[in-house]
Amino acid sequence: MNILVCGGAGYVGAHVARELHLRHHKVTVLDNLSTGHREAVRWGQLIQADILDTNALDSVFRENTFDAVIHLCARSIVSDSTTDPYGYYLNNVQGTLNVLRSMRANGVGKFVFSSSAAVYGQPISDVIHEDHPKNPLSPYGSSKWMVEQMLADAWSAYGLSSASLRYFNAAGAAHQDGIGESHDPETHLIPNVLRSLLAGTPLNVFGNGYPTPDGTCVRDYVHVEDLASAHVLALNYLDQNQGTHAFNLGSGTGFSVMDVIRTAERVTGRQARISPREPRAGDPARLVASNLLARTRLGWNPSQQDLDEIVLSAWRWHQDTAY
């Protein structure tokens, strides 16, 4: 298939482009490079354009024939979204609407959307299933949930088939192919732990009084290569199953912040310097996925579940190639 990957220069997007290439699909990346990296576009042509530029989008769709769109463009820093909600709704909701309208005008009927565990808000169960109530805690989470609701309406009105993939914590790197996680500023735990171990600087740990076994937040870390493979499975699924669908993408296992730090120390042979901080606003104590639906419907089989291996792949990337 000929696939447009919006946001294909970002962390997850670059891994999706790689996976599509490995599965013999043709890839075109559309990215404004505001947070993405030119160096990460290694599988397919880069079109540098903004999803808020409807003229640019229209010409991209007019000049190419795509079978489907995988859409990962988003502003994605939860705390930022609370101080700039208009900016988040503009980019994440209006921008997505622009892509969907161009698709419709040009007869493209399949859409895979990068959603988030942030749609659920404060969990009311130990393990989160897709039908868990949606009470996002931030404009970022709301923006993802709004798009999911738009997609349900787009199926009823226009017959657009879509799969929303609710990522838990993307982690690791396809370091062997020179891509990995790089944000500026970096807010995510694993890259921050590794950067602090490399530089010998202190690591902020946000909160140690949560109702978890060691008092730090528990998250579900899923290897970014496994995340990427789910996008290709979702495209195949949409071929056979029209409609609007949503799947959790997590490993189903929770690790605390301290588990991650101890793992990173073991993998790198270095000792972390921990700087305890107040809890970050809006961090749920525990977010762990049920991935049963993705396993049974998509045939997804996350194969890189070992946290040591996940952290090691990220460490290799940080040591060798980080852009």
Answer yes or no: 237 catalytic.
Answer: no
Query: How crowded is residue 311: how many other Cβ atoms within 10 Å of its Cβ?
Result: 25
Pick one of 219, 231, 245, 318: the residue that binds ligand UFG (CB under 6 A): 219
Interface with ligand UFG by CB under 6 A: which range of 22-30, 86-94, 100-108, 202-210?
Answer: 202-210
Pick one of 117, 230, 234, 246: the residue that binds ligand UFG (CB under 6 A): 117
Residues 6+ apart with CB under 8 A from 174: 15, 18, 180, 224, 225, 313
**Residue with token string 């290709």:** 232
Helix (H, G, I), strand (E, B) or coil at 241: coil
By rule CB under 6 A, what string of x and - marks binding of each residue 161-190 to ligand UFG? --------x-----------------xxx-
Pick one of 28, 32, 76, 244: the residue that binds ligand UFG (CB under 6 A): 76
Angle made by CA atoms 27, 29, 35, in degrees to the nearest 5: 145
Q: How far is CA 113 from the centre of its chain?
A: 10
Q: How many residues make contact with ligand UFG (CB under 6 A)?
A: 20
**Considering 140, 167, 210, 237, which one is annotated as catalytic?**
140
Q: CB of 64: closest distance to ligand UFG in angstroms? A: 29
Q: CB of 222: closest distance to ligand UFG in angstroms? A: 11
**Are the C-beta atoms of residues 315 and 194 closer than 8 Å to each other?**
yes
279 is written with which tokens?
A: 């809890």
Q: Which residue's CB is nearer to ligand UFG, number 45 or number 122?
A: 122
Residues 6+ apart with CB under 8 A from 204: 192, 275, 277
Q: CB of 256: closest distance to ligand UFG in angstroms? A: 8
17 is written with which tokens?
A: 């482009």
Contact call for residue 78 and ligand UFG (CB under 6 A): yes
Max CA distance (Å), the chain: 56
Q: CB of 182: closest distance to ligand UFG in angstroms? A: 14
Residues classed as catalytic: 140
- Give the footprint of ligand UFG on this chain (CB under 6 A): 76, 78, 116-118, 140, 169, 187-189, 192, 204-206, 217, 219, 257, 280, 283, 287
